[in-house]
A and B are shown apart, each in its own frame.
Chain A
Amino acid sequence: MIISPNNSPLIKVSQLSKIFSNKQALDKVNFEIVKGEPVALVGPNGAGKTTLFSLICGYIQPSAGQISILGHQAGSAATFGKIAALPQDAQLDPRFSIAHQLKFYAQLQGFNKKKSQFEAERTLELVGLKEVLNEKPDSLSHGMRKRVTIAQALIGTPEIVMLDEATAGLDPLHAREVRQLVANLSSEITFILSSHDLSELERLCQQILFLEHGVLRQHQNSSNDSSNQKQQTFITLQMANNIPQFEQSLLAIAQVSNVVQTQDKEYLLTVNPSIKLTNDHIPIDIQILKLCHDNKWIYRQLINGKTLENRLFN
C-alpha cells in the first residue's frame, strides 16, 4: 500500500511479522510512509502498536519480513540522527542532570562539546523547559519528564520522530503545547504518533495506520478517503442536546441519504451530492445549520467528513 508513489518512502515495511512465544503480535504488515504530514498509529490495547514501534526503532528483531528506514536496515548506524523516538515508559538516568544527558546524546550524534550544549538548550526551549537544564530527572514532575524526553528526540535534524503516547500524563495545557510543537515542526519532520486520544490524532494527522490484533486493518489518508468516496460524502454533526425525531428531520434534506447516531448526541450524515438540489442550490452544510437555527436546536460542532473515530469504527 503506497501513500504517495511520487516520493521515495521514509519507512517501508514489507510482510512484517513478530511472534512472541507463540503469540502473533504482528501479522504480515505492509505499508510505506513518505515525508509529509504526521502519521497516526492507532489501535486497541494489544493491537501491536508498541511492537511495530519497537521494530521500526530496531529495539527488537522481526520474526519475518523487512523494515527499511531511509533505505537502510532498522537500527543500523546509517539511520542514527535521522530517526528519533520517544519510547513509551523509557526514562532518563536519574543520576545525571538533564543537560548532561542531552549533551551526551548530542555528542553521540556527532556534535562537539559546544554545539551539544547549544542543542540541549535549543531542544529544551522547544518543549518550554529551558529552566530545568541543570535539574535531575527525579526533581521534575511526570509531565515535565515526558517533555524532556520529547526534547531528546528533537536533537539534531531528525527526518522521522516517533512519539509513543507523547501526551499521556500531560495536563491539557502542556498536551496542547506538545501538539502545537508537532504541528509547527511537521513541515521539517515526519512524526509518527501513537496515542489512544483519537481527537488529538485527528487534529494532527492526515495519515492513519490502524492496527487490530497485529493486522493492519486500514491505511489511509485524507486524499484516498476522498478518492474512494466521490459518490458520497459525510458530515458529522454534534448537538448540545438530544432532540426527538432528529434523524427524520435531517433525512428531510434532499441530499442526506442516511443518518446514523454514532454516539450520544452525535450523528453521521451520508450525503449524496449527485442528488439534484431542490433548495435553490443552498449548500448542504448551510441547510443543516438553517434547520438547527429554524428549530432553535443548539449544535456543538459540524464536521466536514467523518471523525477519526467514525472512520475507524463505523
Chain B
Amino acid sequence: MSKLNHIEQSLIRIWALAKFELIRLFLTKRGMVAILAFVTAWFIILYYPVNSAVNIVSSDNFRDMVEDTFGILGLSALLNWQVSEFTIYWLIALYFFPVFALGASSDQTCADRTRGTLRFISLRATRNEIILGRFIGQVVIIAILILLTLVATTTLAWWRESALLVPALLKASQLFIQLIIIVLPFIALTSFFNSFLRSAKLTSVVTLLFFGLGSLLIGLISYQLSSANYLNYIFPGVQLSDVVGQDKLTVVDFLIPLIQTCCYLALASMFMKRSAL
C-alpha cells in the first residue's frame, strides 16, 4: 500500500513537471516564437506540396522520378495510398519532426541547472522524476503539434473529396503513432545531453557533432572493421530509410527507436544522478 502510494506520488510529480513544459511552450515568448515558426513552416508545406499532392503524385514525372530515384527505398508503395495528401505529408513529416524535436527539446534541464532553478525543484522531485517529467512534457508537445498537422492534412483531403474522410482519419491515426515512436529517441537524446550540458545552444552544437562527426567516425571504423556498422544503432532515426516507404514494416522498425529511447533515458538518469546541481 505504502509502495503504491509512493508510486502515485511519483507519478503526480512527473505529471506536474510535464504540464509545466506545456506551459513553457504555450505561455512564454520563446515558446510562442517557436510555435509561430512551426505554424508558418507547416502553412507553406500544407498550402503548396500537400495541397497539390494529387497533381504531384499522379503526374508521370513524379512517378518516374520516385521509381527511378527512390525505388530502392520502396517509395513506390506510397504512390498507391488512397489519400495522396498523406504521401507528401509523410515524406516531409518523417524528417521534419525529428529535426524539429531536436531543436524544441534542446533545453529540458540545462538552463534550469545553470540558473539554479533545478535546486528548488530537486528538493521536491527526484532527479529521475525531473528527467522523465521533462521528457514526457516534450513528447506531449511534439504529439500535439503532429496531431495539428495531421488534422490539417485530413481537412485538406476531406475538402478535396468528402469520401476521403474515413480513410484519411485511419491513415492519420496510423501515421500519428508511427511519428511519435520515431521522435521518441530524438527527444531522449537531448534529455541525455541535457543531463551534463549547461545550455540549449551547446546541446544543439553537440547534437550536430554527434550526428555529423559520429557517423563519420563510425564510417571510418567500419571501413576497417565491418562489424562496427552496428554502432550506427546509437543514432536515433537509423531505421528511417526502412520505414519511409511504408512497405514491409516489421516490429524491429518500432523496437529500435523504443530501445534507443530507453537507453538514452537510462544514460540521462546515470549522468543526472552524478551531476552537481
Contacts and interface: CB of A to CB of B under 8 A. Distances in A.
A in complex with B: yes
A107 interface: yes
Contacts of A77: 6, 9-10, 126
Given A59-B122, A77-B10, A104-B16, A95 B28 contact: yes
B115 A90 contact: yes
A236 interface: no
Main secondary structure of the interface of B (DSSP, over half): helix
Interface string A98-122: 0010001101111000000000000
Contacts of A58: 122-123
A105 B274 CA distance: 23
Interface residues of A, number: 32
A108 B116 contact: no
A59 B277 contact: yes
Contacts of B276: 54, 59-60
B242 to A, nearest CB: 40
A83 B117 contact: no
A77 B124 CA distance: 8
Nearest to A94: B115
A4 B46 CA distance: 72
Q: How large is the interface on B (under 10, 10 to 19, 20 to 34, 35 or more residues)?
A: 20 to 34
Contacts of A152: 120
Interface stretch (B17-25, B135-143, B158-166, B250-258): B17-25
A95 B121 contact: no
A100 B27 CA distance: 11
A282 to B, nearest CB: 54
A95 B124 contact: no
Nearest to B29: A95
B277 A80 contact: no
A108 B28 contact: no
A107 B16 contact: yes
Interface in B4-54: 6, 9-10, 12-13, 16-17, 20, 23-24, 27-30
A274 B24 CA distance: 70
A84 interface: yes
A57 B6 contact: no
A224 interface: no
Contacts of B13: 108
A81 B120 CA distance: 11
Contacts of B201: none
Nearest to A57: B123
Nearest to A156: B124
A84 B116 contact: no
Contacts of B116: 87, 89-91
A85 B16 contact: no
Interface in A151-186: 152
Instruction: Please give me the 6 A-B residue pairs with the lowest Cβ-Cβ distance, nearest first.
Output: A90-B116, A108-B124, A59-B277, A95-B28, A87-B119, A60-B276
Given A59-B119, A77-B9, 14 more contacts: A57-B119, A57-B123, A60-B277, A75-B127, A77-B6, A87-B120, A95-B24, A96-B23, A96-B28, A105-B120, A107-B16, A108-B13, A108-B125, A110-B9
11 contacts: A54-B276, A54-B277, A61-B274, A75-B126, A77-B126, A80-B123, A84-B123, A95-B29, A96-B24, A105-B121, A109-B124
